Amino acid sequence: MAHTLTRRRLLAVGAGTAAVAVVGGLAARELSRPRSGPAPDLPDAPAGDERLIRIASSARGREVDFWTAVPDGYGDGRGLPVCLVLHGASATPRDYGRFGLARFLTDAVRRGTPPFVLAGATGGRLAWRRSGDDDPQRMLREEVPNWCARRGFDTDRAAAWGWSMGGFGALLLAEAYPGWLRAVAAFSPAVRPGDAVFADVDKLRGTPVGLWCGRQDNFLRDVRALAKALPEPPVRAEWTDGRHNFAYWGTVIPDAFALLGTALTTPRTG
């Protein structure tokens, strides 16, 4: 059963919650960081149809927040493809309003990016991996597409985008279901040589991968190592000035959204 939060409530809960430990110790360096830092500079564009609801997830055994955003001018988003949003350890979908993700989406489309929908649910601090009966990855693969389909979104065309722990999760999701995602965009993914992403990196063959990381980010060396380990060169690999926060990630969202929108609307070949 879903419970809709009003637009006023959506804005009010944008502060989110404090970071706690990731199960299994993944992204330990992320845990010592404060929340996702200062909010980015937001584009001069309105949010379109932006919703935050509470909905029961059988995969996670609890109710979760489920957030969606449609670019302004595209109504309720019916027929648009979907980009899954995977948060880091210190954020939840309740932060997405503060981060201005819906506004970035409208701005990207107004600049020529093919339109698509953003959709994200609460994955907890499990690094988007199963822990006992709690399986956020199964939620992403099975439940979130069903929730999106009820809204009329085109779930046959899907991509994934995440930052930090969510970047790790997006890459892991693409490896778990090879060929499902049209593209993956990962900002400063919390990866390390020898972890699960590196272990199955060959499963990313055929999936376009974009990687972005700030030069002042402690993950930079490992993210660059991942770029070299990919079975095919990344479609984007950008290392510009910035730290591990949304003040930096906001500067590269336009590039990532352009990549994702193009991948979601370009017919597959072969």
The model carries a pTM of 0.87
Question: pLDDT-based confidence at 229, cuts 50/70/90?
Answer: very high
* pLDDT of res. 235: 98
Count Cβ atoms below 10 Å from residue 192 Cβ, excluding itself: 19
Q: In this structure, how many other beta carbons lie within 10 angstroms of the beta carbon of residue 125?
A: 23
**Is the distance from CB of 204 to CB of 229 less than 8 angstroms?**
no
Burial class (CB in 10 A: 0-12, 13-18, 19+), 23: middle
Measured between alpha carbons, how far is 266 from 96 in angstroms, rounded to an integer?
A: 27
Res 152 pLDDT > 60:
yes
Alpha-carbon span 243 to 214, nearest angstrom: 5
Both tokens of 229, joined, read 């380990």
What integer pLDDT is reported at residue 267 of this predicted model?
87
pLDDT reading at 183 higher than 80:
yes
- CATH architecture, range 3-15+22-265: 3-Layer(aba) Sandwich (3.40)
pLDDT at 89: 95
Averaged pLDDT for residues 55-81: 98
Domain positions in the chain are 3-15+22-265
